[in-house]
Structure 1
Amino acid sequence: MRDQAEKLRMKMLENQGSLGRSIAVVSGKGGVGKSNFTTNFAILLSNLGKKVVVLDMDIGMGNINILIGKNARYNLKDYLVGEVPLQDVILDGPNNLKYISGGSGLSSVVQWSPTMFESLISAFETLQKNFDYILFDMGAGATNWSLDLLTSIDEIIVISTTEPTSITDAYSMMKYIHLRDQTKKFYLVVNRAFTTEEGRETGFRLKNTMMKFLSKEINLLGSLPEDPLVRKAVIDQIPFSISYPDSSISKTLQAMVSSFVNYRVEEVYAPNQPNSFLKKLKNIFSKGRG
């Protein structure tokens, strides 16, 4: 096993030049609109002319393809077990968006082998070279596997609602990640707020709690309103940013996307910085895993 880990370590090369931003979208609990946010956030990034790919990492319950009304012929598991090449699992979504479906069978790949690790890292390496943004739509909650991956990813967008249980779970999720990597950059989105004030108060509550108990600064991206058009868009399987581009929620999310794109890019992604995402991932997967 040590020889296999060393082989994996040696095979991973540092990329040079411009690399895509790796971003995980997480929530402490399910039902907060995480996948819907990820899908529409990615579409609006793509509308800005960015090359965007979404990886559905909700193991066993992936639903990105459902939200965009697509049938995924192949999924991430098919690539990891060597059945199809990477290009066959990178599927076309709306508005030039690309996505990789998690698939209901991904849960059978929990027992990772060194070959799967190699395939996974090779895929991420390729995606970083070919896309401006790589969005990981993570499953709700925290597992050892998801925390390992989140430790490697550059930035984290945390989704919470205004409900007390959602706020508590969002804080717990950030705490788990922070305890593993205190340099991790967090962005907070409050979803399904009934008023602007309610969304703002929830955001500042979480921001202040993180600072008080963990001495950790987080970035508030803002809040999205509760909107019945979202439910209609889900039923129609057409993302609301496409079917209702002039709605309040679409315009609010568009402003949020613009803020995120321009948010301290020069500080986070200096051109001479090493490829921290793949480097961290390599280190994690080479510590006796498999």
Structure 2
Amino acid sequence: MDQAAILREKMQHQSSGTCRTIAVVSGKGGVGKSNFTTNFSLTLAEKGKRVLIVDMDLGMGNIHILLGKSAGNSLTNYLQGECSIQAIIHHDEDRLDFISGGSGMTSLLRWSDFMFERLLFAFDELQKNYDFILFDMGAGATDWSLQFMMSVDDIFVISTTEPTSITDAYSMMKYIHTKDTEKDFFLICNRALSSDEGTTTLLRLKTTMQRFLSKEIIELGVIPEDLQVRKAINEQIPYKKRYPNCIAAKSINKIAERYLANDLVSPIEVIGKNPFLSKLKGLFTKGGA
């Protein structure tokens, strides 16, 4: 029996947990998406949640840099059969782990059956050990990344107050909505020069989605421009850890609390099925992996 068949047999005997999957996206680069992912994940961990970050910015991932860690073995190494799933999980805090994306992955839709089976097996295993898995997606959009986003439970959209960032964020949500009208969007305005400016940006996107797509989106909040954030990046320490009382850290605390509120995140019913893996499997089947 080949390795792919062995992994497939193992998966048939495993039950899924109640882990929630989140894709963190932005319409363009330079909006602070990865920095948000890092500090939001750290905030969830501080609140007692078991969190894993998977860096999906293929070939240019920087989560490990923001955490002040070395990349080590990556998702690429695992998919190519060079190491075990345990070997690519790097630990930062007691409840926060991360996986580096590495380089060499070009298209999910061209993977071999062996790599696909290893991917599904990995995510099935990982969901048993974490409450949240956050996928830090690359800036912009490719065919495979947009389809990968269809598989996750929630999508966090990061925008700044710049017109181009707002337009790109709307375009991405519009595309995803046309493919899956039930997908939930959670919106964050980052690096706002003022609270009013950030709130106006969120309202603008919310109103546009309502008017043209009849889609409600959830505003998680505004993170203001903060010089302490830049200092923390240069020091390679998350600002939540380095400057816990800075404005950005306080803002991301509120965002995490809002997301965890019962009226925003409904429990996922997983009785004998796993929505994330089922959708991901469908993606590869349609793509001819």
For normalisation by structure 1, the TM-score amounts to 0.92
Cα deviation for residue 252 of structure 1 reads: 1.1
- Correspondence 1:282 to 2:277: no
Partner letter of residue 256 of structure 2?
Answer: V
Cα deviation for residue 263 of structure 1 reads: 4.1
Q: Retained in 2: the 8 A contact 1:200–1:223?
A: yes
Q: Retained in 1: the 8 A contact 2:16–2:127?
A: no
Cα deviation for residue 105 of structure 1 reads: 3.5
Instruction: Give the equivalent residue in structure 1 for 2:119.
Output: 120
Instruction: Give the equivalent residue in structure 2 for 1:233.
Output: 232
Percentage identity across paired residues of the two chains:
53
The farther-off stretch of 6-15 and 77-86 is: 6-15
Partner letter of residue 119 of structure 1?
Answer: R
Instruction: Give the equivalent residue in structure 2 for 1:212.
Output: 211
Instruction: Give the equivalent residue in structure 2 for 1:164.
Output: 163
The farther-off stretch of 17-26 and 220-229 is: 17-26
Instruction: Give the equivalent residue in structure 2 for 1:222.
Output: 221
SS of corresponding position for 2:286: coil
Q: Retained in 1: the 8 A contact 2:53–2:134?
A: yes
Cα deviation for residue 104 of structure 1 reads: 3.2
Partner letter of residue 25 of structure 1?
Answer: V
Q: Give CA deviations for 1:206-251 in whole Å, capped at 9, x if unaligned.
A: 0010111111110000110000111110000000000000111101
> For residues 265 and 195 of structure 1, what CA distance do their matches in structure 2 show?
25
SS of corresponding position for 2:116: helix
SS of corresponding position for 2:197: helix
Cα deviation for residue 96 of structure 1 reads: 3.4
Instruction: Give the equivalent residue in structure 2 for 1:24.
Output: 23
Q: Give CA deviations for 1:98-146 in whole Å, capped at 9, x if unaligned.
A: 0000123334877311111111111111111110000000001111110
Cα deviation for residue 274 of structure 1 reads: 3.9
- Correspondence 1:36 to 2:35: yes
For normalisation by structure 2, the TM-score amounts to 0.92
- Correspondence 1:62 to 2:61: yes
Q: Give CA deviations for 1:184-208 in whole Å, capped at 9, x if unaligned.
A: 0000000001111111110010001
The farther-off stretch of 204-213 and 272-281 is: 272-281
Q: How does 1:247-262 map to 2 (within 5 A)?
A: 247-262=246-261
Q: Give CA deviations for 1:24-64 in whole Å, capped at 9, x if unaligned.
A: 00000000000000000000101111110000000111000
Instruction: Give the equivalent residue in structure 2 for 1:185.
Output: 184
Q: Retained in 2: the 8 A contact 1:77–1:109?
A: no
> For residues 247 and 201 of structure 1, what CA distance do their matches in structure 2 show?
23
Instruction: Give the equivalent residue in structure 2 for 1:149.
Output: 148
> For residues 120 and 201 of structure 2, what CA distance do their matches in structure 1 show?
37
Segments of 5+ residues of structure 1 without an aligned counterpart are none
Partner letter of residue 223 of structure 2?
Answer: L
Partner letter of residue 67 of structure 1?
Answer: L
The farther-off stretch of 87-96 and 148-157 is: 87-96
Cα deviation for residue 277 of structure 1 reads: 0.8
> For residues 180 and 10 of structure 2, what CA distance do their matches in structure 1 show?
25
Instruction: Give the equivalent residue in structure 2 for 1:76.
Output: 75
Q: Retained in 1: the 8 A contact 2:259–2:265?
A: no
Instruction: Give the equivalent residue in structure 2 for 1:135.
Output: 134
Cα deviation for residue 286 of structure 1 reads: 1.9
1:198 to 1:266, Cα distance in 2 relative to 1, 3 A? closer
Partner letter of residue 58 of structure 1?
Answer: D
> For residues 25 and 252 of structure 1, what CA distance do their matches in structure 2 show?
17
Q: Retained in 1: the 8 A contact 2:55–2:63?
A: yes
Q: Give CA deviations for 1:146-190 in whole Å, capped at 9, x if unaligned.
A: 012101011000000000000000001111111111110000000
Segments of 5+ residues of structure 2 without an aligned counterpart are none
> For residues 269 and 202 of structure 1, what CA distance do their matches in structure 2 show?
30
